Amino acid sequence: MSTTAETGPAAGAASTEARMSRREVLQALSGLMVGIFVSILAATVVSNALPVIIADLNGSQSIYTWVVTAELLAMTASVPLWGKLADLVSQKLLVQLSLALFVAGSLLAGFSQDTTMLIIARVVQGLGAGGLTALVQIVMAAMIPPRELGRYAGIFGAVFAVATVAGPLIGGVIVDTSWLGWRWCFFMGVPFALLAIVLLQKTLKLEQVRRRDVQIDWLGALLITAGVSTLLIWVTLAGNDFDWLSGTTALMVGGAAVLLALALVVESRVAEPVIPLGIFRNRTVTLTVVASALVGIAMFGGTVFLSQYFQISLGYSPTEAGLLSLPMIGGLLVSSTVAGALITKTGTWKRFLVAGGVLMTVGFGLLATIDAQTSIWLLGAFMVVLGVGVGLLMQNLVLAAQNDVPARELGSATSVLSFFRSLGGTIGVSVLGAVLASRVAGDLAVLGGGTEGGGETAVPDVSALPPEVARVVQDAYGDATAELFLIATPLAALALLVVLFIKEKPLKTTSGAERLAEEQAQLPLAH
């Protein structure tokens, strides 16, 4: 039996005989950085353009939520599968395939003629984003020791921040430029994705290592996806198409519970589960998974509707809304970069997690006080606090988990963490989107012109409304957005509480590939 049969998903670079220099690592990661850049860019470009896109395609508030949720759900469901595929197929090829899916989804979205086609396109984009989410972390852990990972994680945090800053600005300029139109929000990412594919071909040198004993648990994946999707569809439709307490609710929630229970049974019995339940015996992994899920719910659910607040409640253009997002992204950029460098220098990391949890909770609490009259300077200060907190938390939770598992479990731990963070984000957007739609519909009911279903209230074009009506609409969206942050605040506080129980352990100084080689050397020869 060859030794490759024992190689885990994090071992694409297991044959590396000498420690790579910083220049070599950066060169190898360049294509991945461009890939992450284009993935984040696509999401943030759309964030500012969505009010215009949904209005042009005659979509409702619930459709607005689903355009975001569809991509997150596809990404969430596919992350563990990409991790398993990394055992069977070249990681380099898989990253390129994920980018190709992203290109296909972008082109389909750009040519969308209705909201159904747009949602399908976002699903395809989400499948590509799932590959990047899983594989980038796995490749980094294989090449870089945890002690050094903070520095490179900080660089990726900077790439994330730049893409998040550039996206809303570019999206705003595109939709504000009459001869371009919103469709270019999707088309403009295509050349970046193609560039990433070329760079990966030239710079990412990974040995193709396969585990012949790996089988993908398609049944478990199907049950998990079906169960989670059923819950999300229920959350989106409840209160609009049917009552929260109704026979339909009982059927959907009960069906989802049965599907997820069956998934647990399957996952506990198969040799290669999509979500290996045994990994939760590791306290650090369990706590970081719970914290990541809570961060995902609070962050995605609380912030994805900010662009809508800027444009509808405060009356700014898409371009101006992009500029208004700079304080939060600036805080995230500085905190993730500085924290990464300090973690590499000192070897200590828990203090940054705790500080991030405190600041994120405070940031959400402050944003829960906003309304349609809030000063943009005060709003900017609140967003800086939130951005710094998120920057200190997200990547360092991954670092804590990767540092505390055997090398053979790096891929599983990373995929599980990414899965639950994405799942939290998907649930957050869906649940809080339903809350926003219901609250707005209730507030607008005083006008007498709303539809019966809260989620089917059309996203308004405030500039086309009479002044007295526009003011009511602006107040409704301002109050509803504040309510979302109020809901997110205790979730952030709970994430802080979980972080406090994570035990700080010294960061390892060997890469995942080197640790894997050491572990294999200790295996019995008969194996």
373, 488: one domain: yes
Q: Which two tokens mark 305?
A: 């509707």
391, 464: one domain: yes
Q: 2 lies in a domain?
A: no
257, 373: one domain: no
Q: Is 527 exposed, middle or buried (0-12, 13-18, 19+ CB in 10 A)?
A: exposed
- Do 363 and 491 contact (CB within 8 A), yes or no? no
Q: 281 lies in a domain?
A: yes
18, 152: one domain: yes
Q: 1 lies in a domain?
A: no
Q: Identify the three-state secondary structure at position 449.
A: coil
192, 110: one domain: yes
296, 436: one domain: yes
CATH number of the domain where residue 415 is located: 1.20.1250.20
223, 323: one domain: no
- Encode 302-354 in three state secondary structure: HHCCHHHHHHHHCCCCHHHHHHHCHHHHHHHHHHHHHHHHHHHHHCCCHHHHH
Q: Identify the three-state secondary structure at position 360.
A: helix
233, 287: one domain: no
- Look-up of token digits 């040198």: 205
DSSP string, 375-410: -HHHHHHHHHHHHHHHHHHHHHHHHHHHHTS-GGGH
- Do 18 and 162 contact (CB within 8 A), yes or no? no
Q: 173 lies in a domain?
A: yes
Q: Which two tokens mark 504?
A: 């700080």
Half-sphere exposure of 202 (CA within 13 A, CB side): 9
- What pLDDT is stored for residue 352 in this prediction? 92
Per the structure, the count of domains in the chain is 2
Q: 55 lies in a domain?
A: yes
Helix locations, 13-60, DSSP H: 22-56
Q: Which two tokens mark 289?
A: 């998974």
Q: Which two tokens mark 184?
A: 């270019």
Residue 324 identity (one-letter amino acid): L
393, 327: one domain: yes
CA neighbor of 330 nearest in space, from 416, 390, 405, 272: 390
109, 250: one domain: no
257, 343: one domain: no
276, 387: one domain: yes
- What pLDDT is stored for residue 330 in this prediction? 83
- Local confidence pLDDT in tens for the 527 residues of the chain: 333 333 444 444 334 434 566 677 777 778 788 888 887 777 777 766 777 888 888 777 667 777 877 787 787 778 777 877 776 677 778 888 999 998 999 999 889 888 889 989 989 988 888 888 778 777 777 677 776 766 676 677 667 667 766 777 787 788 777 778 888 888 888 888 888 888 888 877 765 545 555 567 788 878 887 887 787 778 767 766 777 788 888 999 999 999 999 998 998 888 777 777 888 888 888 999 999 888 888 777 666 778 788 888 888 877 787 788 788 878 888 888 888 888 888 888 899 999 999 999 999 999 999 988 888 999 999 999 998 998 888 878 888 888 887 776 776 777 788 778 877 877 777 778 778 877 777 777 755 544 444 445 556 667 677 787 778 888 888 888 888 899 889 999 999 999 999 988 888 776 666 666 676 666 664 44
Which residues constitute the domain of residue 253? 217-271
pTM above 0.85, yes or no: no
- Encode 231-250 in three state secondary structure: HHHHHHHECCCECCCCHHHH
Q: 337 lies in a domain?
A: yes
Q: 427 lies in a domain?
A: yes
Q: 87 lies in a domain?
A: yes
Cα 132 from chain centroid? 11
d(CA 454, CA 60): 9
- Do 339 and 396 contact (CB within 8 A), yes or no? yes
